[in-house]
């Protein structure tokens, strides 16, 4: 009988995934629903409750001690609410309270999806053993999270590590967030594709105009495709170097669809990093691909719940000992 399980929820604009995860990060049970992203808030919550219902009806549920939630942002961990950009029915939605009610009052830990991915990479993946790390997802958007001093740094509201929306080009193109020249505005998949198309690159017979198709062209030597990835790499390098200069990290881990471009992204990224990470204490910084794949959200939500529990135990050493 497992007595060290946590329930994990990974909530995005496309799907709501749930799992029971053990203390070693193994997923023992899964449940999933499509996110009814265009419906009202209560309808979205019913999908979450269906996922939780599959978990709570399992004979394993008795071992679950806490719930970790990684949600598309913005989140507000201090208020227990979420306002995912792609789920308009949830604005300041009291997700923590509702999940607590649906799970018989278990403690609930909420973090942003970038923070959850970071917790997973630190626990089981490419940031394992690193006390100071930035982990990123470069995909349709650019998100991230931080490990500082050996611990997850979610920040007071669970949003820290939001590297996609730091400006590395203060006079640059307007970003949907309201600022200019954000890392995401230059380095996300759609922006890599947009820049290639603007430069004259054209898709092949399959009509695929994604960043993945641009990566294939870049690997074949198409100079416009190469240049678009180099520009993305430059923005990522400036953002990663800024992070290292601000908080001292020694590794940046990059996941998400754009990272699948491999050397097309990582080679110019490592070159650009030498240009922007110049001070003595950041020059040793390395970058590498994420290792956790599509389960990072679930495993990371579990890790966030477990690390919060560990914190609580530290504060109350008599409990559970």
> Which residues of the chain form contacts with a second copy (CB under 8 A)?
74, 76, 83, 131-132, 146, 148-149, 153, 155-157, 159-163, 165-171, 177-181, 234-235, 238, 241-243, 245-248, 275-276, 278-281
**Burial tier of 37 (Cβ tally within 10 Å: 0-12, 13-18, 19+):** buried
Round to whole Å and give the CA distance between 98 and 8. 15
Round to whole Å and give the CA distance between 189 and 301. 25
Min separation Cβ 32 and a second copy, Å: 28
Min separation Cβ 198 and a second copy, Å: 17
Round to whole Å and give the CA distance between 84 and 5. 27
Min separation Cβ 221 and a second copy, Å: 25
When the beta carbons of 127 and 163 are compared against a second copy, the nearer one is 163
Round to whole Å and give the CA distance between 284 and 174. 33
Min separation Cβ 106 and a second copy, Å: 25
When the beta carbons of 181 and 268 are compared against a second copy, the nearer one is 181
When the beta carbons of 83 and 86 are compared against a second copy, the nearer one is 83
When the beta carbons of 103 and 188 are compared against a second copy, the nearer one is 188
When the beta carbons of 202 and 283 are compared against a second copy, the nearer one is 283
Residue 303 · residue 152 · CB < 8 Å: yes
The label of the residue with tokens 């923005």 reads 235
Round to whole Å and give the CA distance between 170 and 163. 15
When the beta carbons of 217 and 287 are compared against a second copy, the nearer one is 287
Angle at 112 between CA 36 and CA 5, to 5 degrees: 90
Min separation Cβ 315 and a second copy, Å: 12
Min separation Cβ 169 and a second copy, Å: 5
Q: Which of 307, 251, 270 lies closest to 70 in space, CA to CA?
A: 307
């Amino acid at each position: 009988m497992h007595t060290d399980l946590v329930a994990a929820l990974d909530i995005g604009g496309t799907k709501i995934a749930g799992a029971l995860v053990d203390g070693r990060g193994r997923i023992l049970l899964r449940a999933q629903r499509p996110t009814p992203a265009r419906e009202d808030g209560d309808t979205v919550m019913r999908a979450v409750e269906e996922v939780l219902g599959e978990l709570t009806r399992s004979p394993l549920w008795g071992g679950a001690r806490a719930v970790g939630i990684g949600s598309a942002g913005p989140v507000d961990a201090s208020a227990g609410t979420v306002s995912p950009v792609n789920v308009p029915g949830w604005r300041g939605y009291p997700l923590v309270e509702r999940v607590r009610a649906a799970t018989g009052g278990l403690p609930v830990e909420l973090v942003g999806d970038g923070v959850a991915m970071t917790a997973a990479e630190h626990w089981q993946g490419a940031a394992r053993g690193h006390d100071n790390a930035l982990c990123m997802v470069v995909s349709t958007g650019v998100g991230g999270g931080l490990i500082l001093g050996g611990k997850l740094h979610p920040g007071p509201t669970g949003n820290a590590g939001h590297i996609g929306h730091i400006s590395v080009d203060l006079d640059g193109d307007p970003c949907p967030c309201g600022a200019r020249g954000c890392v995401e505005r230059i380095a996300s998949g759609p922006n890599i594709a947009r820049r290639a198309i603007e430069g004259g690159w054209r898709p092949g017979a399959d009509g695929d105009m994604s960043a993945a198709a641009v990566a294939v062209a870049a690997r074949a030597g198409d100079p416009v495709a190469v240049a678009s990835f180099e520009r993305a790499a430059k923005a990522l390098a400036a953002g990663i170097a800024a992070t290292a200069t601000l908080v001292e990290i020694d590794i940046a881990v990059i996941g998400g669809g754009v990272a699948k471009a491999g050397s097309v992204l990582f080679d110019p990224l490592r070159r650009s990093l030498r240009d922007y990470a110049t001070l003595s204490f950041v020059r040793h910084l390395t970058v590498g691909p994420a290792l956790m794949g599509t389960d990072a959200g679930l495993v990371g939500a579990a890790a966030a719940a477990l690390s919060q529990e560990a914190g609580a135990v530290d504060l109350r050493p008599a409990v559970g000992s």
